[in-house]
Amino acid sequence: MIAVLLLHVVASAAGGDAAPIRARICLNGTWQFGPLFDRDWHQPSNLDDTKTLKWETARVPGTWRGGDWMHEAEFLPSTVRLARVDEAWYRRSIEVPADWRGSSVRIEFGAVGYFAEVYVNGRLAGRHVGGFTPFAVEVGRHVRYGAAADLLVFVKGFRRGWDKPHEGCLIASGNRFAGIWQDVFLTRRPQRHVEDAHVRTSVRDKRIEVDVEIGCLDGAARANLVLKCHVAHKGKRVLEFAPREIEVAPGAPTRTSVFQAWPNPLLWSPQKPHLYEFVCELHEQSVVIDRFSTRFGFREIWIDGRDFRLNGRVTRLRAFLYDHGVPLSMYRRDFLTGYFRALKEQVNYNAVRFFNIVPKTCLEVADEVGLLVAEGSAITSMELRSRFDAQQSNEVMKREFSEWIRDHRNHPSIVIWETDNENWTVGFSLVKAGREVSPEHFEWLPNFGFSMEELRRDVDRYYAWLTSLDGWIREHDDTRIITHSGAMLELGFDTAAHDEPDLHECRYLAGDLHGFMDHYDFHYPYEKHARREMVRFMRHWAETKRKPMIVGEFLAEETYPQEGWGIRILGEQALTGYTLENAAAGEDVSRLLKGWRSAGVSAMFLFYPNYYVFKNVVPEDFRFEWDDLATPGAKPVRPANRYFNPGWAPGAPECVPNRNSGLYDQLKQSLSPLLVTFGEQWRRHGLSGETLARKVYVVNDTEAAERVRWTAGLSSGGEAAGELTLRAGEIHVEDIVLDLPRVDATRRLELSLRLSRRGEIVSHERQQVTVFAREFQRPPDLPPARIAVLGRVHPLAWQTFEAAFLDDLSALSQEVDLLVIPENAAGALADADERARVVRYLAAGGRLLVLEQDAAALERVEELQRLQGGQFAEYTHVQMASPGHPVLDGIEADDLHDWNGRNGILASRPYSRLLRNGRALLFAGWRHAPLVEGRFGPGRYVLSQLHLGGRYGRDPVATHLLHNLVRYLLTVPDAPECAAGYMGDDSRIARRYKLQRPLGDDMGRYDVLVVGRGGWSRDSPIAARFQQIMQFVAQGGTLLLLPQDPQYFATNVLPGDIALRRFDGRFICKERSTAPILWGVSGFDLTISRPQRGLTAGEWDGPKLSAEIVGIGPPWASLLLVSTRFGNRDIYAMEDVGGVFPSGGSALARARFGKGEIILCQLDIDRESRDREGSAPPHDVLNDQALNVADALFYNLGIDRVDGP
C-alpha cells in the first residue's frame, strides 16, 4: 500500500479550522521498466516506443547500469544484460487525492542519471538535465484529481565509454550510471508557500540572518501575508524574529530577509555538533497557510593567514574520501551513521570529502555525527569532454550549480565547496607560468583534446572560466571556502619535467590558480618526488606564501612499495593479523600524514583502503531488505558486497575496527588529534659514537588547550623529554640530540617517541635506526683479486679495494677479475673497439660492474640505451626484487626506502625490467629496476643506477652495498651452459628462449625439460613418454610444466598425488619468499598482467606439494581489471569484487622428485599479444608483466633468450 505522509498545521487563530498544508506520497517501489536497445543516443524520446516495449520491472530508487564500482544490476530481477543500454522508459500509475485540488502538485525527484523527461497522461510535464541534483515537475494541470494517472519517465543515462554528451552535465569519474537513483515523491504545497530559506550565521558578529523565498502558483491571486519565524532547539523556541509583512504574486519568488542578534548560541563543531531548526510560517488573515522548516547549525568558517578557522579556532581537516562510485546501498542512513561514527571515533578522521554531489542523507548524517564536509561538483576534464567554453554546457552546469548549492547550503557540516576537480590545469598552468610545453611533456599531460597551440591561445580565457565558477557558487552562498580541487595536479609529469630544476615550483604556482585563490589545493603533490623533499617543500611553501594548503587527493597505494602490492592494500585475509607487510604499508602512509600535519597543512583528503581497517562482520547470506519507503537510497536485493559494507551488520550500532591490523593502528595514530612525530626526518642510520639529531613536532588539533609531555629515547639508552601547554591548533617544534652507542659491528636500535596527557599515551611513533661501525676497510672475507677501474672517478672507494686505474681498455685482459665502469664513464664505450674489448672479456668469463650513468653516457652506448626504461617517475621506494640474493645480504627494505631522487641514492634513469638475459635485484615502481644482473656466456655483469661510488665511506648503507657487489662478482661461479629441451606446440616461449626441438630419445643430454601450454594431454605424445620423463627428473633433471589443462590433470595426477584444479579467482600475489626461482618476479607482475585474471590459469594442489610451495599463492583477494582511458593513454582501473580463494593451492610451485624437481607453473607467461577476446591489448603493460615473469623464471633456470645480449 502506498504510504501517505501528511503534515498538518492547526490554524493559529481562535476558532480556526485545521488546515492540511503540505503532504507527500512516496512513489518508491516497483515500477515498470522498458529498456531501449540499439538506439542512437542522440535520438529524441518517442511515446510510440512505449507501445511496443517489452515491459519488465525495476526497483526505484535504483539504476540499470552502474558506473565503475556500482553493481546496480542488483536492482533488476531480469537477467537481461543492460550494460550497453543508454535509454529506458519507467512507468507507474499515480493518483492525486481529490482534496489536493487548487494546490501546487509536483513530482519531486531526488536525482535521475542523467536526463529525464516526465510525461503525465501522455503529455510532457517537464524535463531535466543533470544526474546529481534534485528537481520537481508541476503536474496538477495534467491529472484528474481522485483518479488514476499514467506516469512515464524517459531516462538517458550517462553515456557509455568516454564520449560525453554534447549538452554537458556534472559528471564524476566512475558514475556513468543510468536510472532513477534517488527517491521520488508526489507532493502537495499551498498555492502560496515558502520556496526556500537560506540560513547564515556569524560567530564573529554574533548574528543570524535568513533569506526567505515565497512562491505563488500561477493563477493565484495577489495577497498580503505575514511571515513569522523562530529558531527551535529540541522542540523549544529559543529565538524569535520580528514578523514581516510581504506581498506575493504569481511569477518570480518574493524574497525577504529576517535577522537577529544572538549573543550566546550553542555552536556547531565536530566535537559538539549542536543542531537547531529554523521554522517560518506564512499567515493570511491570522490563519497559517504554510509552514516550512530547515535544520542548521550555528558556526562560521573563514581563512586567517595560513589557517582555516572554525568558530575562531584553528581547524585542520583530516578527511577520508567517500568515493564517487559507491553503491546506492551505502547511502542508507543506518550504514552511514555507523560508518561515519566509526571513522571519526575509532580512526580519528574529522572530515569527509564527497567527490561529487551526494544525497542529502549523507549530509544529514555528517551534521549529526560531527564530520566536516568538502563537497564537489564533479566537473572534471578527465570525464567531461565538452570544451570549457562551450556555451550550452556552461548553461547546463550553471543551473546545476544553482540546484546543488540551494539544496545543500544549510548543512553546517559543509565547510568547503569544490567547483571542479582536476580540470585542464596541468598544461594550462605551465603556459600561464610562461613555460614552454615540450612534446615530451605533452605526451603525458592530461590536456584532453587541447593541442599545444590551443593551450597557448586559450590560457587566459581558461583561467577566466575557472574563476567564473566561484561566482556561480557565491551567487547562492558566500559563507564557505571555495576551492578548485586539484588546481595543481602533479599526475602525469615524468622524467623530462624533472630534468628542469625549477619546473616543480613552477607547477606549484597553479595551486592557487596563479594567485586567484586565497589558499592552495594540490593533488598528488608527492607522486614524482621523494616524500621527505615534498614535505619540506610544502612546509617552506606554506611559510613563505602564508596561505592555507589543501592536499585534495592522494593515493595511499602510490606510497607503498610495489613489491607485495596486492598483499599490502588489497585482501581481507591479509589484514586480519598484524603482519610486517601491513605495518610497513601503514607506516608508509603514516609518514606522509604526519609530515603534512607537522607542516601545518590545513586539509588532507585521503584515498585509502578504509574498508580494511574494519573487521568484516557481514554474514555471507546477508541481504539488505528493500521496502517501498526509502528516504533516500535503495537497498540491493542480492548479497551485500563485502568490499563496500565492511564491519557493518544489521542492527550494528557502528562498524567494528580491526584493531589487529597494521593499517588500522598506523592510520589511527597518524590522525590522532594530539600528535607527536619526527615529521619528515627519516634518516635511519648513523655511525658508531655519533649523535642523532631530530626535530620533534607536537600538534594540537583539539578544540581546547592541552597540557602534554613528550619523551624520545633509543633502546640503547639516552632520553630527551619535555612538558608544555599547547593552544588549540598550535604546532610546537623541539630540537633534540641523542647519542648513538659505540659498536664494532652493525647494530639495529629502536627510536621511540611518545606523547602523554594526564599520564595516558595519546600518540606514539617508532623508528628503526641502524648503527654502523666507523671503519670502512676492504672486507676481510674478500678473496685476492685484480680489480680494474676505467678512469679515476671517486678514487677513494677503489683505493680501498687496491684497484688499478685504466685510462682506456687497451690493456684489458682476462687476468682482470673485475672490470668497473664508474660513474658517468660509460661514454668511453661509445667507441666500437672499446665495446668489443668488453664483449670479448665477458665472453671469456669476465666480471663487469657498471655504476650509475647519466643520460648522456647511457645514450652513447647502444647496449645500455636498449636497457633504458624511458621516462621514469621518481618513486618513493626501492624494493627488494630478489630477497636473499647475496648482493642484498645485510640490507633491509627500510635501508633502501628513502634512497630516492634528489635526496637519496636512486638515480633518475634506472633500467627497464625487460632485461633479456638478466633479472632485477631491486625494483623501482612498476617498470624499472635500478639494480640488475645478467650473464653473457660464462661472464657475469651487474648494472647499478644507485649513487654508490660518491657515497662510499660516508654513507654506511651505500658502502655496505658496494662491498656486497664486489664480493658477489668475485665469488659467483661462471654461468653454466644450460641445455633445455621443449615439448609441445609452437608458442612464443618456444621461439623466445634457447629451447631445443624436436625432443630426441636421449633426455639425459638436457638439464631442463619444458612442457608447453596444454602439451601434456591425453592425446599428446608427451603422455606416452610419462615414465621416461619422470626418470629424467629422478636422475636430477628439472621439469618445467607451463599451464596445463585442469580437466586432464583432474584424473591424471603426477607422482605424490600432485593435482591440478581449476582456478576460479582473478588475482594472485607473491608472498615473502627468498626462493631463487622467484628472484626478479614481483607481485605486480602477477596481478596486473591480464584483464580479469592476472596471470593465473589454474592452481596446483596436493598433500606433498603444500610443503614445497615456493611463494606464489595462495591468493588473497579477487581483483577485476577493467580497461579504461586516462587522457590519451589506456590504463587499467582496479575493482575489488570480494571473496578469497581456496587455500592450499599455488599458481607456481615446486615439488621434489628423486634427485630432481618439478616446477609447476600455472601462469600465462606464454600467451600471445592478444587478450581472451582476440583483440589487441590496450597497453603494453598487458604483455610486459608476463614477459617479466617469463624472463626471470627462465633466467633463474639458466635458460638464455634467443635475442639475449
Angle of helix 391-408 versus helix 452-474 axis, rounded to 10: 30
Whether 197 shows a pLDDT value over 90: the answer reads: yes
Whether 1106 shows a pLDDT value over 70: the answer reads: no
For residues 374 and 480, the answer to whether their CB atoms sit within 8 Å is no
Q: Check residue 1202 and give its pLDDT.
A: 83
* 243 alpha-carbon distance from chain centroid: 53
pLDDT class of 122 with cuts at 50, 70, 90 = very high
**Model pLDDT for residues 252-297, shown as the tens digit of each residue:** 899 999 999 999 999 999 999 999 999 999 999 999 999 999 999 9
Task: Kindly report the three-state secondary structure assignment for every residue of 782-843.
Answer: CCCCCEEEECCCCHHHHHHCCCEEECCCCCCCCCCCEEEECCCCHHHHHCHHHHHHHHHHHH
CA separation for the pair 411, 408 (Å, rounded): 6
Same domain as 258, residue 334: no
Most trustworthy range by pLDDT among 101-115, 418-432, 451-465: 101-115
Number of H helices, E strands in the chain: 25, 59
Q: Decide: residue 433, CB within 10 A, 0-12 exposed, 13-18 middle, 19+ buried.
A: middle
Q: Check residue 228 and give its pLDDT.
A: 97
Check which CATH number belongs to the domain holding 41 and give it.
2.60.120.260
In this predicted model, which residue has the larger pLDDT, 881 or 846?
Answer: 846
Pure H helices in 943-1051: 956-971, 988-992, 1021-1024, 1026-1034, 1046-1049
Residue after which a domain boundary falls, among 260, 278, 301: 301
Q: What is the residue-averaged pLDDT of the chain?
A: 75
Q: Check residue 904 and give its pLDDT.
A: 52
For residues 710 and 676, the answer to whether their CB atoms sit within 8 Å is yes
pLDDT class of 19 with cuts at 50, 70, 90 = very low
Cell of 1205: 645480449
Whether 574 shows a pLDDT value over 70: the answer reads: no
Q: Check residue 1086 and give its pLDDT.
A: 60
Residue in the block written with cell 554531489 = 357
CA separation for the pair 876, 705 (Å, rounded): 36
Check which CATH number belongs to the domain holding 451 and give it.
3.20.20
In a domain, 586, yes or no: no
Same domain as 532, residue 511: yes
Whether 176 shows a pLDDT value over 90: the answer reads: no
For residues 353 and 320, the answer to whether their CB atoms sit within 8 Å is yes
Expressed as residue numbers, the domain containing 860 is 787-971
**Model pLDDT for residues 641-683, shown as the tens digit of each residue:** 333 334 444 444 455 565 655 667 778 889 999 999 987 665 6
Same domain as 315, residue 280: no
**Model pLDDT for residues 973-1029, shown as the tens digit of each residue:** 987 888 999 888 777 788 888 888 877 777 888 999 998 876 776 667 776 777 788
Work out how many domains the chain is built from and give that number: 6
In this predicted model, which residue has the larger pLDDT, 1033 or 206?
Answer: 206
In a domain, 667, yes or no: no
pLDDT class of 44 with cuts at 50, 70, 90 = confident
- Backbone φ and ψ for 379, nearest 5 degrees, come out as -65, 120
* Beta bridge pairs of residue 1119: 1136
Same domain as 246, residue 320: no
Instruction: Read off the DSSP letter of residue 740.
Output: P
In a domain, 817, yes or no: yes
Q: Check residue 373 and give its pLDDT.
A: 98
Most trustworthy range by pLDDT among 127-141, 187-201, 517-531, 621-635: 187-201
Q: What percent of the chain has pLDDT over 70?
A: 68
In a domain, 577, yes or no: no
Residue after which a domain boundary falls, among 931, 947, 971: 971
Q: Check residue 107 and give its pLDDT.
A: 98
What predicted TM-score, i.e. pTM, was given to this entire model?
A: 0.76
Same domain as 321, residue 406: yes
In a domain, 17, yes or no: yes
Kindly state the average pLDDT of the residues 134-149.
96
Same domain as 709, residue 635: no
Whether 1056 shows a pLDDT value over 90: the answer reads: no
Pure H helices in 475-550: 495-498, 503-508, 531-545
**Model pLDDT for residues 734-756, shown as the tens digit of each residue:** 999 999 999 887 788 999 999 99
Whether 789 shows a pLDDT value over 70: the answer reads: yes
Same domain as 483, residue 335: yes
Whether 773 shows a pLDDT value over 60: the answer reads: yes
Exposure b/e, 201-221, CB count within 10 A at least 16 = b: bebeeeebebebbbbbbeebe
Exposure b/e, 481-510, CB count within 10 A at least 16 = b: bbbbbbbbbbbbbbbbbbeeeebbebbbbb
pLDDT class of 898 with cuts at 50, 70, 90 = low
Q: Check residue 1142 and give its pLDDT.
A: 31
In this predicted model, which residue has the larger pLDDT, 1014 or 129?
Answer: 129
Q: Check residue 543 and give its pLDDT.
A: 81
Least confident of 374-388, 459-473, 502-516: 374-388
pLDDT class of 609 with cuts at 50, 70, 90 = low
Residue after which a domain boundary falls, among 140, 166, 189: 189
CA separation for the pair 537, 529 (Å, rounded): 10
For residues 523 and 483, the answer to whether their CB atoms sit within 8 Å is no
In this predicted model, which residue has the larger pLDDT, 969 or 1204?
Answer: 969
In a domain, 561, yes or no: no
Same domain as 1123, residue 1007: yes
Q: Check residue 897 and give its pLDDT.
A: 57
Give the residue from 655, 646, 585 showing the smallest Cα distance to 326.
Answer: 646
Whether 1040 shows a pLDDT value over 70: the answer reads: yes
pLDDT class of 1109 with cuts at 50, 70, 90 = very low
Which long-range CB contacts under 8 A does 495-502 form with residues at least 24 apart? 495/870, 495/871, 495/872, 495/873, 495/908, 495/909, 496/438, 496/440, 496/441, 496/871, 497/441, 497/528, 498/528, 498/874, 498/901, 498/908, 499/855, 499/908
Q: Check residue 1157 and give its pLDDT.
A: 83
In a domain, 562, yes or no: no
Whether 815 shows a pLDDT value over 80: the answer reads: yes
CA separation for the pair 802, 787 (Å, rounded): 7
For residues 1139 and 1019, the answer to whether their CB atoms sit within 8 Å is no
In this predicted model, which residue has the larger pLDDT, 180 or 1176?
Answer: 180
Least confident of 602-606, 631-635, 1073-1077: 631-635
Kindly state the average pLDDT of the residues 335-348.
83
For residues 572 and 284, the answer to whether their CB atoms sit within 8 Å is no
Same domain as 295, residue 216: yes
In a domain, 566, yes or no: no
**Model pLDDT for residues 359-410, shown as the tens digit of each residue:** 899 999 999 999 999 999 877 654 444 567 777 778 888 898 999 999 999 9
Exposure b/e, 1058-1070, CB count within 10 A at least 16 = b: bbbbebebbbbbb
In this predicted model, which residue has the larger pLDDT, 563 or 1020?
Answer: 1020
Kindly state the average pLDDT of the residues 437-457.
62
**Model pLDDT for residues 1148-1160, shown as the tens digit of each residue:** 667 777 788 888 7
Q: Check residue 1059 and give its pLDDT.
A: 47
Same domain as 232, residue 289: yes
In this predicted model, which residue has the larger pLDDT, 878 or 236?
Answer: 236
Same domain as 290, residue 314: no
Q: Check residue 471 and give its pLDDT.
A: 94
Whether 1064 shows a pLDDT value over 80: the answer reads: no
pLDDT class of 602 with cuts at 50, 70, 90 = very high
* 877 alpha-carbon distance from chain centroid: 17
Q: 841: cis peptide before it, omega within 30°? A: no
For residues 218 and 253, the answer to whether their CB atoms sit within 8 Å is no
Same domain as 349, residue 256: no
Check which CATH number belongs to the domain holding 752 and give it.
2.60.40.10
pLDDT class of 1166 with cuts at 50, 70, 90 = low
Whether 1058 shows a pLDDT value over 60: the answer reads: no
Least confident of 206-220, 364-378, 577-591, 654-668: 577-591
Q: Check residue 726 and give its pLDDT.
A: 95
